Amino acid sequence: MDRKSWGLTAGVSFLVLGNLIGAGILALPINTGLAGLWPSLAGMAVLGGAMCWSAVILGREAVAARAANFNYPSLYQRYLGRLGKWVAILANMLILYGLLVAYLTGGAAIIGQLLNVPEAWRGLLMPGLFVVVTTLTLMNSRLFLRYNALIMVVMLAAFALILVLAWRRVDPAHFAWKDWAYLPAAAPIIITAFHFHNVIPNVCGSLDWNFGRIWKVMLAGMLLGFLMNAAWIMAGLGVLPLDASANGLLSAFHANLPATVPMSRILDSRFFTLFGMIFALLAIITSYLANGLGLMGFVRDMLENHCRVRSRLANVVVTFGPPLAIGLLYPDIFLKALNVVGGVGIVVLFGILPAVIFIKKASAPAAKAAGWLLLLLFTACLLCEVGHETGRLQLRPHMEYWNAQH
């Protein structure tokens, strides 16, 4: 492979990694930390591997189609009929709307908590953040797209710095905590942290539909994402107290806060606060722009083809109005939104449906059996999340009991 090919491969790998870095990584130490380090790493290995497998399935379909307008509802309609198409449409709406809600609530929480904004002014943070990021999105985010590589370098540098600062205060005793029974509750956040599937058609097109290079690039991006997620979980779990104190893991969980907020209070470092906010806000803003543009295109297609409405104003209102309204009504919904996005939307659209395609196309018995295992894994995640959200399945962290015994 020549230097130009290596550069292209590396660039596309960073495209995958850039889409992995978002609200999911900010929530990981809080949700998965309640299950403990080793259950978290095991869960990431299994679910991350499953998400990588589903990405390979979808990548193969994109290569077979080689279409500039490749989209998932049409793909699933081809294999599963109109039901598959509409399930995909609804799941995609849930993912995109839910992620925008998470970005708005998480971003406002980060700004308010890390900058110690007075309570009287915090009600203006979310509308202010909304105006800024939505304006950038409506401008087609040219500035961010033009300097995407530079933004990635700054974001990764900030991430490396906060890791170094956090590791100085890591308590290895925290790594002994294990609560395997709580791991299913952390599955949606893990799945969200390994979600990049919306850009698979772009990845395939950028690599000239060469499937041999495509799956290697996706695997490389996923492995880099796994290493970043693992390091971040270890830092968060090692720094934050394993209790319900003001800055403890349980308090952050109940308050729906991103991990950078309680970590900044514990470390009491201006550098950590600065670089933590840079990393978190860049991760949120760039993800908001990408998903906002995707949702605008999706809504425009629905309005024009199904409602016969051709209006940019209507497109903007339907795209960005619901996330802002939900965020204002439920400003502490950050972790909850990510749970629903990962445990329902992503699991259905990029887990269950690709597994069904794999089973339908597999000819060897061993391949079919493997496809059924993949389907059962994602179905179990969906059932756990639905049961948890409806109150039929009680999954509570037992960290308070561990502290009582120690």
What pLDDT is stored for residue 259 in this prediction? 84
Given a contact cutoff of 8 angstroms between Cβ atoms, the answer to whether 315 and 138 are in contact is no
pLDDT tens track for 116-132: 777 767 778 899 999 98
pLDDT (mean) for 139-144: 62
Q: What is the pLDDT of residues 371-384, one digit of tens each?
A: 999 999 999 999 99
User: What value, to the nearest 5°, has the Cα angle with vertex 241 and ends 240 and 243?
Assistant: 130
- By the 8 A CB rule, do 289 and 143 touch? no
Using alpha carbons, select from 287, 245, 275, 322 the residue that is nearest to residue 19: 287
Question: What percent of the chain is predicted at pLDDT more than 70?
Answer: 92
The domain segmentation of the chain, as residue ranges, is: 8-405
What is the average per-residue pLDDT within 282-305?
83
pLDDT at residue 59, rounded to an integer: 93
Write down the pLDDT at residue 401: 44
Both tokens assigned to 177 = 């905590």
Taken as a whole, the chain contains a residue count of: 406
CATH number assigned to the domain covering 8-405? 1.20.1740.10
Quick one: pLDDT at residue 68? 66
Question: What percent of the chain has pLDDT above 90?
Answer: 38
Question: In this predicted model, what pLDDT tens digit does every residue of 48-92 receive, in sequence order?
Answer: 999 999 999 999 999 998 876 778 888 999 999 999 999 999 999
What DSSP state is assigned to residue 246?
Answer: T
Virtual CA dihedral for 179, 185, 187, 188, nearest 10 degrees?
A: -150
pLDDT beyond 60 at 1: no
* Residue range 256-266, pLDDT digits in tens: 778 888 888 88
Determine the Cα–Cα distance for residues 264 and 271; give it in Å rounded to an integer: 9
Spacing of C-alpha 130 from chain mean position = 19
Tell me the pLDDT tens digit for each residue of 3-28: 556 666 777 777 787 778 877 888 88
Check pLDDT > 60 for residue 399.
no
Q: Who wins on pLDDT, 335 or 406?
A: 335
Average pLDDT, the chain: 86
Asked if 242 and 174 touch (Cβ cutoff 8 Å), the reply is yes
The one-letter code for the residue type at 190 is I
The reported pLDDT for the residue numbered 404 is: 40
How buried is residue 8: exposed, middle or buried, by Cβ count under 10 Å (0-12/13-18/19+)?
A: middle
Q: Are 274 and 110 in contact (CB under 8 A)?
A: no
Residue given tokens 């605008």 in the structure block = 296
Residue 298's pLDDT band (cuts 50, 70, 90) = confident
